Amino acid sequence: DDVLTQSPLSLPVTLGQPASISCRSRQSLVFSDGITYLTWFQQRPGQSPRRLIYKVSNRDSGVPDRFSGSGSRTDFTLKISRVEAEDVGVYYCMQGTRWPLTFGQGTRLEIK
Amino acid sequence: VQLLESGGGLVQPGGSLRLSCVASGFTFSNYAMGWVRQAPGKGLQWVSDISGSGGDTFYADSVRGRFTISRDNSKNTLYLQLNSLRVEDTALYFCAKEAGPESYGHLDSWGHGTLVTVSS
């Protein structure tokens, strides 16, 4: 299975400051079609997951532009340029390149 | 897009349940669908996916042979039959929509989940 390792697992951030979450895979996540199926989800407290970013860097409709995704092959990053109170929750990366689909452990973002 | 799960509940080890997910707001048969679960206080775990036609199915090793995914496109409904349930199957089960009929690993919309508790 493709193990995804996120860091940090806990991320205390001051309002208005940037935040960064890493997601690493042991194997390249580039599919045979040349596309990298790496996705980021946000799960706010008490809510179901919401997709933020797909194919490494494409923001979903309605996702604020302070969220951005980057990376390639095995190393990926989710960045929040200026954290707001509504960003509190757990963030997961997921790979869709190979079966089984796998998620990172999750990174809990909290406000300092 | 709306996805509404139901069918969860309390069941004894070894028992069975059938989960349902009714979809609306999109042409159901044009999209593959999946199930993802989340044990209490834990992370997300993919369980199963099915193609838009229902002809192709995929399972996590932990559930293969015990769970069966299916769909009824005439009823816009996705199902997950859970058999031989174990305590470790206790989780909130989400259904999620994929990006196309045979396009997997996208999970672009999620339901609110239905809770399955396996306990004696």
**Which of A37, A101, A105 is facing B43, going by the closest CB pair?**
A105
Average pLDDT over residues B36-40: 98
Average pLDDT over residues B43-48: 98
Quote the pLDDT of residue B15. 98
Contact A90, A109 (CB under 8 A): yes
Q: Do A51 and B109 touch (CB under 8 A)?
A: yes
CB-side neighbour CA atoms (13 Å) of B91: 20
Quote the pLDDT of residue B60. 98
Adjacency order of strands within the sheet including A67-72: A4-7, A19-25, A75-80, A67-72
* Distance in angstroms (rounded) separating the CA atoms of residues B14 and B10: 12
What count of other Cβ atoms lies within 10 Å of the Cβ of residue B16? 11
- CA closest to B94 among chain A residues: A48
User: Which pairing describes strands A107-111 and A10-13: parallel, antiparallel, or unpaired?
Assistant: parallel
DSSP SS3 for B9: strand
- CA closest to A46 among chain B residues: B112
Contact B34, B49 (CB under 8 A): yes
* Distance in angstroms (rounded) separating the CA atoms of residues B48 and B105: 11
Quote the pLDDT of residue B89. 98
In the structure, what pLDDT confidence band is assigned to residue B72 with cuts at 50, 70 and 90?
very high
Quote the pLDDT of residue A100. 97
Token pair of B79 as six digits: 């199902």
* Distance in angstroms (rounded) separating the CA atoms of residues A58 and A44: 20
Distance from CA of B74 to the nearest CA of A (A): 27
Quote the pLDDT of residue A51. 98
DSSP SS3 for A84: coil
Contact A67, A52 (CB under 8 A): yes
Quote the pLDDT of residue A95. 97
**Which of A50, A60, A99 is facing B58, going by the closest CB pair?**
A99
In the structure, what pLDDT confidence band is assigned to residue B17 with cuts at 50, 70 and 90?
very high
Residue that the structure tokens 């040349």 belong to: A34
Burial A17-31 (b: 16+ CB within 10 A, else e): eebebbbbbeeebee
Q: Do B94 and A48 touch (CB under 8 A)?
A: yes
Quote the pLDDT of residue A8. 98
Q: Write out pLDDT tens, residues A30-74.
A: 999 999 999 999 999 999 999 999 999 999 999 999 999 999 999
Interface test with A, best of B97, B106, B112 (most A CBs within 10 A): B106
Task: Please state, rounded to an integer, the average pLDDT across all residues of chain B.
Answer: 97
Q: Do B105 and A103 touch (CB under 8 A)?
A: no
Average pLDDT over residues A9-29: 98
Give the A-side interface with B, CB within 8 Å: 37, 39, 41, 43, 48-51, 54, 60, 90, 92, 94-97, 99-106
